[in-house]
Amino acid sequence: MSRFGSQGPNGKGIDDIKTKIHQEILSLMDWQHMESLAPERLRQELKALTEELIQTHKLALNETDRRLIIQGIQDEMLGLGPIEPLLSDPTVSDILVNGPYQVYAERHGKIVPTDVQFDNEAHLLRVIDRIVSRIGRRVDEMSPMVDARLPDGSRVNAVIPPLAIDGPLLSIRRFAVVPYTVQDLISFGAMTAGMAELIQGLVRARLNLLVSGGTGSGKTTLLNVMSASIPTDERIITIEDAAELQLQQPHVVRMESRPPNIEGKGEISQRDLLRNSLRMRPDRIIMGEVRGGEVLDMLQAMNTGHDGSMTTIHANSPRDALTRLEHMLGMAGLKAESRAMRQQIGSALSVVIQVSRLSDGQRKVTSLQEITGIEGDVISMQEIFRFDQTGLSPEGRVLGAFVATGIRPKFAPRLSTRGIVLSDKLFEPTQLWS
């Protein structure tokens, strides 16, 4: 039985028929002519050629099988083969390929198995090579790991043998074609309208913000949503390891780091890009994620006139995020006492926003904390909002509520001087939202 769940004539599976027609098309194609065609025209040519071969070989196929074969060949020639339907499915956020015969997809925050398979390891390797070659990267035994991206901005990571023991591994982190808005996050239950109003005010008032969270918790999504509140007359520079941000302002300069080549040369790090960006007259700098020595230059930029800059970091809590920043400063070669490092962090950053993916797949802003300065040798923080989990429903859905702690933040006067007036009711501790 083929993975399509049907059989062709003479007991042949639909997959076998598709493979043979695909091979015949490869031998018949005029590649120079095909490469000159627009993608949509090429898709039509492939459909016509496939139908002609089905007719020539007198294959007794029903309409469903015929459509599956045509679609499969179009996906193989123009797209990414078997996973192309997953890429066109808006409910799929991550695609995880564990060798040619095991493909998982994340839907609504949960990872589930699919019935998608590749023909063999060579088939999967061809798809990986097609992805990385589009952006001038290579993957082979000398360079068995690669980071790349698809034309839609989705992030791709591939690992091949000998590092991958059970066959090539492929991970695709997808991003919405149409970026989420703050209203979308409110409707998803990721935050309340009041929290959204405050975050938008923080961005417009040019406070320096740090978004903290684990893998897949929604840090980049929140950063995108936050950036929508930046005025359109500001010059924004984004710096990322793999371009993921989708800013909508007209004056955005996007830069992406470059890994070393096969000889270990030519690397351009985020730190190199950040240092260069300071000469490009930015109003704000948005760094996709700090993970190394670039943190020193980022904090210095925040402290020297680039107010309103933002970045993300991998951490499980706001306090852990600040500890990680301190460790990274040490990695950057900053030879200073811990107190001096903490003063640098405390003066550069104003707010830490923690996002989390809960056990049921929901993503929420679980804490919003203000950095108020240094007390002794400790960076002092106060929590303004948090999400309190109260339990689980019989279906496994997380139950809980957003709550204001009752603390009025010290940055409130700064917001009011920028014309951003927040209601006192926003911070009343009696306010609860489910």
Q: Does residue 92 share a domain with residue 74?
A: no
* Structure tokens belonging to residue 327: 């460790």
Q: Does residue 87 share a domain with residue 36?
A: no
Q: Which of 144, 174, 204 is the last residue of a domain?
A: 174
Q: Does residue 24 share a domain with residue 118?
A: no
Intra-chain end-to-end CA distance of the chain, in Å? 48
Q: pLDDT value at position 20?
A: 79
Q: Does residue 304 share a domain with residue 166?
A: no
Owner of token pair 């920028």? 418
Whole-angstrom Cα distance, residue 347 to residue 261?
38
Up-side HSE of residue 347: CA atoms within 13 Å toward CB?
A: 12
Q: Which of 150, 174, 198 is the last residue of a domain?
A: 174
Q: Strand locations in 297-434, DSSP E?
A: 310-314, 351-357, 363-375, 378-392, 398-404, 432-433
Q: pLDDT value at position 287?
A: 94
Whole-angstrom Cα distance, residue 280 to residue 283?
9
Q: Does residue 329 share a domain with residue 348?
A: yes
C-alpha distances out from residue 425 to 36, 197, 408, Å: 63, 13, 10
CB 366 within 8 A of CB 346: no
**Total structural domains in the chain?**
3
Q: pLDDT value at position 188?
A: 92
Domain at 377, CATH number = 3.40.50.300
CB 222 within 8 A of CB 211: yes
Q: pLDDT value at position 260?
A: 81
CB 222 within 8 A of CB 355: yes
Owner of token pair 């995880």? 96
Whole-angstrom Cα distance, residue 432 to residue 408?
16
Q: Does residue 246 share a domain with residue 117?
A: no
CB 419 within 8 A of CB 403: no
The parent domain of residue 101 ranges over 83-174
Tens of pLDDT, residues 5-19 = 344 443 347 777 777
* Structure tokens belonging to residue 306: 């680039």
Q: Which of 58, 78, 98 is the last residue of a domain?
A: 78
DSSP-derived secondary structure letter, 217 = S
Closest listed residue to residue 165, CA positions, set 95, 99, 96, 97: 99
Give me the phi and psi of 326, to 5 degrees please.
-65, -40
Question: Sheet holding 310-314: strands in order across?
Answer: 252-256, 236-240, 284-287, 310-314, 209-213, 351-357, 363-375, 378-392, 398-404, 432-433
Question: 3-state DSSP call for residue 254?
Answer: strand
* Structure tokens belonging to residue 240: 């990322």
C-alpha distances out from residue 168 to 95, 96, 143, 171, Å: 14, 11, 13, 10
**434 residues of the chain, pLDDT tens digit each:** 333 334 444 334 777 777 777 777 766 666 556 656 676 777 777 788 888 788 887 777 788 888 888 877 777 777 788 898 898 888 898 999 999 999 999 998 889 999 999 988 998 998 898 888 777 778 888 889 988 878 777 889 999 999 999 999 999 988 776 788 999 999 999 999 999 999 999 999 999 999 999 988 999 999 999 999 999 999 999 999 878 888 889 999 999 998 887 777 889 999 999 999 999 999 999 999 998 889 999 999 998 889 999 999 999 999 999 999 999 998 888 777 888 899 999 999 999 999 999 999 899 999 999 999 998 889 999 999 999 999 999 998 999 999 999 999 999 999 999 999 888 888 988 656 54
Q: Does residue 125 share a domain with residue 6?
A: no
Q: Does residue 214 share a domain with residue 194?
A: yes
Domain at 98, CATH number = 3.30.450.370
DSSP code per residue over 129-160: HHHHHTTT---SSSS-EEEEE-TT--EEEEE-
Q: Does residue 146 share a domain with residue 273?
A: no
Closest listed residue to residue 42, CA positions, set 84, 74, 83: 74
Whole-angstrom Cα distance, residue 79 to residue 54?
22
Q: Does residue 377 share a domain with residue 229?
A: yes
Q: Does residue 67 share a domain with residue 53?
A: yes
Closest listed residue to residue 103, CA positions, set 148, 162, 170, 175: 170
C-alpha distances out from residue 68 to 18, 29, 79, Å: 9, 21, 15
Q: Does residue 416 share a domain with residue 299?
A: yes
